[in-house]
């Protein structure tokens, strides 16, 4: 899909399961794949080529019919920040983004500007354990 969607492709799990000793979890159930097509004078040609590629892929593994919907243009680079919350790490640290006030408490505050440079820190790191 990335051949047709230079703005990005997203793979989402519709369900995740984890054992008590498995903090990372694993995908179960079907996956949802979405791509973001630019709305320009090439949109219909891009859709046609994408549909053709999906048809060929469907010969290997049956696929559900592609669905399309318009998404309002938004400043996605900023919009995600409204949902970001401080992350407690162990018993002593809390990671707080630069635009939020640090909550009061006894934790040591680590301030970062999450995003492209540092990531958001919200995804688990498999095979690592941290004890404090």
The DSSP result for 53-65, as a single string, is HHHHHHHHS--PP
Two structure tokens written together for 50: 């994408």
Which of 26-35, 51-60, 63-72, 93-102 has the lowest average pLDDT? 26-35
pLDDT score at 123: 53
Whether residue 126 is predicted with pLDDT greater than 60 in this model: the reply is no
Average pLDDT over residues 34-45: 90
Yes or no: say if 77 and 68 are a contact pair by the CB < 8 Å rule. no
Average pLDDT over residues 98-105: 86
- Where residue 83 falls among pLDDT bands split at 50, 70, 90? confident
pLDDT score at 41: 95
Q: Are strands 87-89 and 93-97 parallel, antiparallel or unpaired?
A: antiparallel
- Where residue 117 falls among pLDDT bands split at 50, 70, 90? low
Residue 107: Cβ within 10 Å count: 18
pLDDT score at 58: 94
Two structure tokens written together for 66: 């592609």
């Amino acid at each position: 899909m990335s051949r047709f969607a230079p703005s990005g492709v997203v793979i989402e799990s519709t369900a995740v399961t984890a054992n008590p000793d498995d903090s990372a979890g694993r995908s179960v159930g079907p996956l949802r794949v979405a791509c973001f097509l630019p709305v320009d004078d090439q949109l219909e040609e891009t859709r046609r080529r994408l549909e053709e590629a999906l048809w060929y892929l469907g010969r290997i593994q049956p696929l559900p019919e592609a669905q399309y919907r318009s998404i309002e243009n938004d400043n996605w680079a900023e919009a995600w920040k409204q949902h970001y919350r401080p992350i407690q790490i162990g018993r002593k640290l809390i990671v707080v983004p630069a635009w939020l006030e640090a909550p009061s408490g006894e934790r040591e505050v680590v301030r970062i500007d999450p995003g492209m440079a540092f990531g958001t820190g919200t995804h688990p790191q498999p095979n690592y354990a941290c004890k404090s």
